[in-house]
Structure 1
Amino acid sequence: MQSDSTFFPRPMAIALLIMCATLFAGNHIGARFAFDNGAGLLFAVLARSLLSLIFMFSIVKLRKASMKIPAHLIKWQLLLGFLIAAQSALLYSAITLIPVAMALLLVNTWPMMFIMANWISGKSKPNVKMFLLLVMILIGLILVLNIDLSAPISDDWLLGVCFGIASAIFLATTMWVTQYQLAGIAGSVRSAYIMMIVVISMLLAGVFEILPGGLDLPHNTTGWAGIGALAVLYGIAVTTLFVLTPRLDMARNSPILNFEPVASLFLSYVFLEQFLNSLQLIGGAIVVLGIMAIGLSRA
């Protein structure tokens, strides 16, 4: 077990995690600018993953880590890469159809799905406190989604919500595979392979036109700025986490990353003029508090 002296002071750790959460949120704002100005979805994921791949390989090189993976774990590593590729595409699809903050709130329900999967599979036993927190999150989501049953539901809205929920399911599955199958693989090595698989997947999907127009380039400088922002912001955030994780006391501080949807609310309002109504804001606060409570209960 790591001693407290090896960790950053808690205020510093919290500030770094808030910075990472804000950068992750900013990456999605950049993606929306890119999509609104002609960039294809596959191209956006490809740009983000390629820069992250360069960063991850640099970390592996600096740490002189072995890239060898035991033969019996290769299938799980491949699955992990394909899951992240699908999750990234689904999330970016969601933010083209619904407000960024709503999409991120939906995706950030993955801890709830992970816990329920543990209960169903017998990995852990259900408890009343956790059940009440899950109910709390569901109530918050109902408020965020702001469903008016008396009005017709937009196809785009419904599809965006489905993409957001599917992205959360894929992310929960990713965490499941990581924890129960690949926990012994170094994080930088595992992530380097993930990014490599995502890059190859996006290129193949584009070449075979699985998603028509998926590799389209932005039409103007605003679109290119969005691509640059999403790649750089995501790359910096994910690299910072991998490099500094041993000193951030993640067992205690990881719930701070749930600041991402909160940051997206502010950034969406400033850059995209997207905003949620008062009831949705209350629901969003309930979701974030519930997820943070789940994270803190694990510490």
Structure 2
Amino acid sequence: MSSLSSPLPRKLALALLVTVACAFAANHVSARLAFDNGTGLLLAILTRSGVACTILLTLVAVKRKRLWLPKAAWPWQLAVGCLITIQSLALYSAVARLPVVIALLLANTFPIQLALLTWALGGARPSLRQCVIMGTILLGLLVVLDIPAWLIQAETLGSEWVLGIALGLLSAFVFSSALWITEHRLAGVGSTLRSLLTMQTVFVAMIIGAALGVVPGGMSLPDNSQGWVGLSLLALLYGAGFSTLLICVPRLDMARNAPVMNIEPVASLVFGYFVLGQTLGPVQLLGGAVVVGGIVILGLSKVR
């Protein structure tokens, strides 16, 4: 095996994955900073996908990869691009309405939704152990979302909170759908080409959305320097994390090490506190720990 494809030492691989997870967490905190200071939703996603496209095109040029996609794969690839567009809109919209860590915990329910979707479409049925773990994760989410407080004083949370939760769950559903298509219909397509076409679809969709005015104020520029900092950081952090993951993934032993990336909600909690002043109560923190722990155990059980 060549040195270019041999696995990295596990400590280094774990350190890289933790760094990437922290970059993604900081990207979402930066997005909230940008939204709080007047940045439009479409502009944020357009900027992020534009940077990602630039990185991917550079990788294609450097590696001299062939840009060829089987004819039968085009509809599925377009479907994945549309789903990731919806996922981006839903997740950033949730981030704009909820504490960042709660939005990410909702989005990180995608392993549960993917397992159920796979079963519904004729795949393997989740084992009893996996069902118990998924049930525990859902109970943890109920604690994080402070459902008892809802039942007592629902009006204090407002409609934005309810919409934010729905958008967070929607982002997980469309992401799990995109993963299912990728695994079952696009397995023969190279990851770089697939990622490039997906990001190009998102980029074009944002331009079309802006031209049609589908999101009022979607292309609004930041109101101040903090907004510009948030917009710049969300694009750079996502681009850095995305490119690092794409370049290094063949050497990271993802089947064994991927669960460590579930540190992202934890990192977002820390960054959200220092940058945005967002905090959770002790009971919500306990619920968040249950969710993250459950997702990690679910990932490890799949590996076994």
TM-score (norm 1): 0.97
User: What is the aligned partner in structure 2 of residue 290 from structure 1?
Assistant: 294
Secondary structure (helix, strand or coil) at the match of 2:105 reads helix
Q: Report the Cα offset of residue 152 of structure 1.
A: 2.0
CA distance in 2, matches of 1:69, 1:174: 17
One-letter amino acid matched to 2:249? T
User: What is the aligned partner in structure 2 of residue 103 from structure 1?
Assistant: 103
User: What is the aligned partner in structure 2 of residue 62 from structure 1?
Assistant: 62
CA distance in 1, matches of 2:2, 2:186: 21
CA distance in 1, matches of 2:67, 2:128: 43
One-letter amino acid matched to 2:68? K
Q: What do the CA deviations read for 1:160-205 (whole angstroms, capped 9, x no partner)?
A: 1011011111111111111111111111110011111101000100
Q: Report the Cα offset of residue 125 of structure 1.
A: 2.5
Q: Report the Cα offset of residue 110 of structure 1.
A: 0.2
CA distance in 2, matches of 1:191, 1:89: 18
Q: Report the Cα offset of residue 63 of structure 1.
A: 1.5
Q: Report the Cα offset of residue 126 of structure 1.
A: 2.8
CA distance in 1, matches of 2:169, 2:20: 23
User: What is the aligned partner in structure 2 of residue 277 from structure 1?
Assistant: 281
One-letter amino acid matched to 1:240? T
User: What is the aligned partner in structure 2 of residue 220 from structure 1?
Assistant: 224
Contact 2:25 2:267 survives alignment (8 Å): yes
Q: Report the Cα offset of residue 269 of structure 1.
A: 0.5
Structure 2 unaligned runs (5+)?
none
Change in Cα spacing, 1:182 to 1:2, as seen in structure 2 (3 Å) is farther
User: What is the aligned partner in structure 2 of residue 152 from structure 1?
Assistant: 154
User: What is the aligned partner in structure 2 of residue 208 from structure 1?
Assistant: 212
CA distance in 2, matches of 1:77, 1:235: 21
User: What is the aligned partner in structure 2 of residue 85 from structure 1?
Assistant: 85
User: What is the aligned partner in structure 2 of residue 265 from structure 1?
Assistant: 269
Secondary structure (helix, strand or coil) at the match of 1:23 reads helix
Q: What do the CA deviations read for 1:221-255 (whole angstroms, capped 9, x no partner)?
A: 11111110000000000110010000000000011
CA distance in 1, matches of 2:15, 2:216: 41
User: What is the aligned partner in structure 2 of residue 134 from structure 1?
Assistant: 134
CA distance in 2, matches of 1:22, 1:194: 23
List 4+ stretches of structure 1 deviating above 6 A: none
One-letter amino acid matched to 2:281? N
Overall identity of the aligned pairs, in %: 42
CA distance in 1, matches of 2:112, 2:2: 28
Structure 1 unaligned runs (5+)?
none
User: What is the aligned partner in structure 2 of residue 198 from structure 1?
Assistant: 202
User: What is the aligned partner in structure 1 of residue 16 from structure 2?
Assistant: 16
Contact 2:117 2:177 survives alignment (8 Å): no
Computed over aligned residues only, the root mean square deviation of the Cα atoms, in angstroms, reads 1.4
Select which of 180, 183, 196 maps to 1:179. Answer: 183
CA distance in 1, matches of 2:200, 2:154: 42
Q: Report the Cα offset of residue 212 of structure 1.
A: 1.2
CA distance in 2, matches of 1:134, 1:95: 23
User: What is the aligned partner in structure 2 of residue 52 from structure 1?
Assistant: 52
TM-score (norm 2): 0.96
The count of corresponding residues between Structure 1 and Structure 2 is 298
One-letter amino acid matched to 1:242? L
Q: Report the Cα offset of residue 2 of structure 1.
A: 10
Secondary structure (helix, strand or coil) at the match of 2:38 reads coil
